[in-house]
Structure 1
Amino acid sequence: MTGGFPLDLILFGMIAAFLVLRLRSVLGRRTGFERPPADRPVAVPPVMGPADAVAPVTRRGVPDSRGPVGQALARIRGTDPNFDPAAFLNGAEGAFRMIVEGFAAGNRPLLRDLLSDDTYAGFEGAITERESKGERQRTEIREIRDATIEAADLRGTVADVTVRFVSDQVNLTTDATGKPVAGADAVTELTDIWTFQRDLRSSDPTWKLVGTRSA
């Protein structure tokens, strides 16, 4: 057509305009991985407490199924098909954090739900003694490095599972004036051996702490 635009150029122009619009729409989206512009203030996340902090991945150890501990775990699963050693370790790590920090805070209701009667009596006595002296305990679990099942037993329908926890903690006890009387304001690696128990016939899924010792 004389004096007009060739049809192929019109089509190419339309395609180019479409691609430009698409490119702008893609580049205009933030996917969450871009660096913030240098002239835009970066929002600083709020300071998180020990319970809210994102902890590094814990190394978890489940015994070989062919060994004595692994066979005991298999017997527990035979009685309770819902029992899973890996899932148990996840719950045990959570209980470890709650109990350690709950003891430091003197949180009796929380401890009452997670400890056996005898174990709770020991913890409660220590809290009462600390309070009678006007002392305060600060405990921070900085990292749980390792959580490994070391022993297991099944007596009838009552199951015991023992876990070794290796953790980095800050433990400091101060008197009524704020003066340190025990521990230190520094990170210390601690190894704790905890035994959890549950009657597999019970409708309560909670494994309660029945024994503690340090290694």
Structure 2
Amino acid sequence: MYGQFDLITLIALIVAVAAIIKLRSVLGQRTDEDEQRVERLKTREREAAQRPATETASADVISMPRRDREPVPAAPAAEVAGPSVEAKIRAYPVQDPAVTAGLLDIAKFDPALDPDTFIAGAGRAYEMIVSAFAEGNRRALKDLLSKEVYDGFTSAIADREARGETIEQQFVGIKKADIIEAEVKNGTAFVTVRFVSELISATHDKSGQVISGDAQRIKDVTDIWTFSRDISTAKARSNPNWRLVATQAPN
């Protein structure tokens, strides 16, 4: 019995030793592919060590590899055309249909006319003019006013300065702005806008005393201003700027 057991044990040991020798022979060898992998790893480590700090810092940004032949991207789909100028003008709310007719007449010469865009620009001009007049800033007024209106504004500023008066003013904002007239005369476009704005304004005399207005109260102010622009020729139309040509008090 013991001899049989020893024989079986001996055979098992021989098989185990043979398996270990075979396994070691396999694990201990490097194939050509293994050598190439190790070499590539060493190369990457050397390159990483030689990179500048800025490049290393951005190493988490991964650029996807490009194909040798990238497919040509498809042309973007054509943008959906927006409303026409005529549609924008007809959609603009007015109390008098003559305003719509006048805007359409202007659009025949100026196809880019957009009532909403015009009102936005007129509102910015209104704020600049009101603020520049209060400050006595003649230079700012000159580019925004016609000669006649400019002369009237600067004359009022000069009279105010001669009396030693100053205006303390804060422009709060425009509550409402509407186009109330529009027409073309002799190649010149005229658009009249009614502004309802909020101002804090007080006029001080030379001693600093308030003689009109209130520096602590917001006041609603209504102005009716007419802007014009020469649209008679292509050269004239290349200048997109409108100028204030008339002011009037509300009825």
Same-fold call, TM cutoff 0.5: yes
The equivalent residue for 2:25 is none
Which ranges of structure 1 fall in alignment gaps of 5 or more residues? 1-60
Question: 1:1-215 to 2 correspondence within 5 Å?
Answer: 62-64=92-94, 67-185=97-215, 186-200=217-231, 201=233, 202=236, 203-215=238-250
Contact kept? 2:94, 2:180, Cα under 8 Å: no
- After the TM superposition, list the runs of 4 or more consecutive aligned residues in structure 1 that deviate by more than 4 angstroms: none
Distance 1:173 1:64, change over 3 A: closer
The equivalent residue for 1:7 is none
Distance 1:174 1:65, change over 3 A: closer
Q: Could you say which structure has the higher strand fraction?
A: 1
Distance 1:144 1:121, change over 3 A: same
Q: Could you say which structure has the higher helix fraction?
A: 2
Moved more, 103-112 or 174-183: 174-183
Counterpart code for 1:145: K
Q: What CA deviation, in whole Å up to 9, does each residue of 1:95-149 have, x standing for no partner? A: 0000000000111111010000000000000001111111111221212110100
What is the distance in 2 between the residues matched to 1:62 and 1:127? 37
Which ranges of structure 2 fall in alignment gaps of 5 or more residues? 1-90
What is the distance in 2 between the residues matched to 1:173 and 1:137? 4
Q: What CA deviation, in whole Å up to 9, does each residue of 1:168-207 have, x standing for no partner? A: 1111110122111222221111111110011013232211
What is the distance in 2 between the residues matched to 1:113 and 1:124? 13
What is the distance in 2 between the residues matched to 1:194 and 1:65? 17
Could you tell me the percent identity over the aligned residues? 41
Q: Point out the structure with max Rg over C-alpha.
A: 2
When the two chains are superposed, the root-mean-square deviation of aligned CA atoms in Å is 1.8
What is the distance in 1 between the residues matched to 2:191 and 2:103? 8
What is the distance in 2 between the residues matched to 1:141 and 1:64? 27
Task: Report how many aligned residue pairs link the two structures.
Answer: 155
